[in-house]
C-alpha cells in the first residue's frame, strides 16, 4: 500500500509531497515530489539482505566502532543494466525503487551498518552493544549520471526538503543524531555512481559532533565569525547563506556552507534560506569541478544539532575534497591516521581566493 501527504508548503505556493510505500520485505520507500500524483509500483523491489552488526569498544582510543560483516557483500560497481538505484521498468530487473519514475527517493539500506532490529550481542574479549540506528539511501534523480551540480535548483530544493523530513522522522523515533552525507568519486570509495547520498541516524551523538556541541555551548559563535571572515574566507553568498573556507580547514580546498544566522539544522531555514542553500550546494560542486577541471571526488556531510542539543548549535554543510591539485590526491597517511593531526598543504585563505576566481556556472 502507498499513501501520499503534503509535508511542506512554501510562501511561493510550492508544496512538497511524500509518498510512502512498503516493500514486501518490510522496508519503506519514500518518494518526494512537488506534485501530489500518486505513483503505482511497477514490480517487487530487491529484498533486504541478512543483517549482522554490533558496536565494539576500542579501549585505547576510547571509542565505539561498528562491525557489519554483511556489508562486505554490498553491490560493487554494477553495469548500467544492473543499476540498483534506477527506476524499475515493468517486466525489467528488480531495483531498490520499484517505480517507473520518481523525483527524489529515499529507502532503507539493504546492507545497513545500523538498524532498529539489531540484537544484543556479547563477545568474550571486548565490550559490545547493539548497533542501533538507521541507514538510508537518498537517490537524487532517476538519471544514472549527474551530480548535485547538474540537478535543477527545484530538484536540489526538493532534496533539501527530503533531508528535513528525514531529520524530523528520525528525531521523532528517538534517535539522537542524524547525518546526511555524500561520497563522490572512485577515489573516495564510491561503488555506485548513480547520483545519490546516504543518511545515518545514531542512538547517540558521535564524538566529533559532541565536541562541536560543547564548543557552541561554551560560546563559540560561528555566525559572528562568519562576518569577520568575509574578506579572506568567503567564496560565494546567496540570500544570507555563505560558502566559505574556514581558517581551520583540515583538507586543501575544504569549504563549508552555512546561514549567516544561527540555525540548528535545515529544518529551521526559511524559504529564502532553503532556496539559497540548495543553490550553493550545486554552485559549490560546479565550482570544484571547474577549478580541478574534472569531476571532483569529495566527502560531503550535513552537520546539524543533535536532537536534544537545545539552541546552541550552528548547522553547516561541509565539503572535503580529496584533491590538492587536479592530478594529486590528498592522502590521510600514517601520522594523520595515527594522531588525528592533519597536515594541510594549502592554507584556507589561499584556497578561498583560488575558488572565488572560478565561475560556478
pLDDT at 122: 83
Percent of the chain residues past pLDDT 90, beyond the cut = 83
CA-based nearest residue to 254, from 315, 317, 199: 317
> For 14-58, how does the pLDDT look when each residue is reduced to its tens digit (9 = 90+)?
999 999 999 988 999 999 999 999 999 988 888 887 777 899 999
Share of the chain above pLDDT 70, in %: 99
Sheet holding 133-139, edge to edge: 2-9, 15-22, 28-33, 104-108, 133-139, 196-202, 177-184, 298-303, 316-321, 255-259, 241-244, 234-238
Q: Where are the domains of the chain?
A: 2-204, 208-356
Domains 2-204 and 208-356 fall in the same CATH topology: yes
Residue 277 to residue 150: CA distance in whole angstroms? 15
Please give the distance of CA 169 from its chain centroid, rounded to a whole number. 16
Contact 101, 39 (CB under 8 A): yes
Mean pLDDT of the chain: 94
Could you say which residues of the chain have pLDDT below 70?
Answer: 1
Cell numbers that stand for 11 in this block: 510562501
> How many residues are there in the chain?
361
**pLDDT for res 133:** 95
* Residues 285 and 147: beta-carbon distance below 8 Å: yes
Q: Tell me, yes or no, if 196 is annotated catalytic.
A: yes
CATH of the domain spanning 208-356:
3.30.428.10
C-alpha span between 12 and 32 (Å, rounded)? 18
- Which one of the listed residues 170, 193, 194, 196 is annotated catalytic? 196
8 Å CB contact between 38 and 19:
yes
pLDDT computed for residue 13 by the predictor? 85
pLDDT for position 184: 97
pLDDT of residue 297: 97
Residue 248's Cβ-side half-sphere holds a number of Cα atoms within 13 Å equal to 4
CATH no., domain 2-204: 3.30.428.10
Kindly report the pTM of this predicted structure. 0.96
Amino acid at each position: 500500500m502507498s499513501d501520499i501527504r503534503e509535508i511542506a508548503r512554501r510562501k511561493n505556493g510550492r508544496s512538497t509531497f511524500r509518498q510512502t510505500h512498503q516493500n514486501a520485505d518490510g522496508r519503506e520507500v519514500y518518494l518526494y515530489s512537488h506534485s501530489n500524483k500518486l505513483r503505482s509500483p511497477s514490480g517487487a523491489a530487491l529484498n533486504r539482505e541478512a543483517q549482522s552488526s554490533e558496536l565494539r569498544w576500542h579501549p585505547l582510543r576510547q571509542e565505539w566502532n561498528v562491525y557489519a560483516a554483511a556489508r562486505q557483500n554490498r553491490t560493487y560497481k554494477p553495469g548500467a543494466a544492473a543499476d540498483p538505484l534506477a527506476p524499475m521498468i515493468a517486466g525489467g530487473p528488480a531495483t531498490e525503487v520499484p517505480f517507473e519514475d520518481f523525483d527524489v527517493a529515499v529507502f532503507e539500506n539493504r546492507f545497513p551498518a545500523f538498524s532498529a532490529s539489531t540484537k544484543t550481542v556479547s563477545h568474550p574479549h571486548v565490550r559490545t552493544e547493539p548497533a542501533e540506528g538507521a541507514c538510508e539511501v537518498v537517490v537524487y534523480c532517476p538519471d544514472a549520471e549527474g551530480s548535485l551540480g547538474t540537478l535543477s535548483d527545484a530538484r536540489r530544493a526538493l532534496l533539501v526538503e527530503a533531508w528535513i523530513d528525514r531529520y524530523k522522522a528520525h528525531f521523532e523515533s528517538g534517535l539522537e543524531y542524524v547525518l546526511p552525507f555524500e561520497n563522490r568519486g572512485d577515489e573516495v570509495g564510491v561503488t555506485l555512481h548513480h547520483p545519490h547520498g546516504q543518511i545515518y541516524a545514531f542512538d547517540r551523538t558521535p564524538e566529533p559532533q559532541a565536541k562541536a556541541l560543547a564548543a557552541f555551548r561554551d560560546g563559540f559563535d560561528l555566525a559572528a565569525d562568519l562576518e569577520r571572515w568575509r574578506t579572506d574566507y568567503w567564496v560565494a553568498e546567496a540570500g544570507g547563506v555563505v560558502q566559505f573556507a574556514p581558517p581551520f580547514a583540515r583538507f586543501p580546498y575544504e569549504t563549508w556552507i552555512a546561514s549567516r544566522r544561527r540555525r540548528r539544522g535545515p529544518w529551521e531555514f526559511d524559504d529564502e534560506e532553503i532556496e539559497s542553500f540548495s543553490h550553493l550546494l550545486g554552485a559549490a560542486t560546479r565550482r570544484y569541478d571547474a577549478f580541478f577541471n574534472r569531476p571532483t571526488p569529495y566527502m560531503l556531510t550535513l552537520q546539524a544539532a543533535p536532537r536534544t542539543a537545545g539552541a546552541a548549535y550552528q548547522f553547516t554543510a561541509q565539503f572535503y575534497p580529496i584533491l590538492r591539485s587536479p592530478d594529486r590526491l590528498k592522502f590521510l597517511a600514517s601520522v594523520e591516521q595515527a594522531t588525528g593531526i592533519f597536515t594541510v598543504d594549502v592554507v584556507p585563505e589561499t584556497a578561498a581566493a583560488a575558488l572565488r576566481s572560478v565561475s560556478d556556472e
